[in-house]
Amino acid sequence: MIHNTRQNWSPGSTVRVGFLRLRVIAAIATPGNYRPDEYALESLDGRAFYRFTPHHGVVRVNDRATATEPTF
């Protein structure tokens, strides 16, 4: 989980990633792949879904299930 920031990254909160304002759906732990934890995000209107990994960027995905499934 992201701790060194002014934003609250807990599920249900709204965060800014670049110029996007997004709602956090879930924090996805990624043990064993040596990358930071991932976050499932959705647009404020609920029509677009994203996957965010700190220091690696944000990727748009097709649906909520793809955004929240763990990738190992």
> Looking at residue 47, what is its pLDDT?
95
- 38: which residues sit within 8 A by CB, 6+ positions away? 27, 28, 30, 51, 52, 53, 71
Could you tell me the CA-to-CA distances from 16 to 24, 32, 34, 72 in Å, in that order? Answer: 10, 28, 25, 26
> Looking at residue 32, what is its pLDDT?
79
Q: What is the pLDDT along the chain (72 residues), one digit of tens a residue?
A: 666 678 899 999 999 999 999 999 999 988 877 888 899 999 999 999 999 998 889 999 999 998 888 876
> Looking at residue 35, what is its pLDDT?
80
> Looking at residue 70, what is its pLDDT?
81
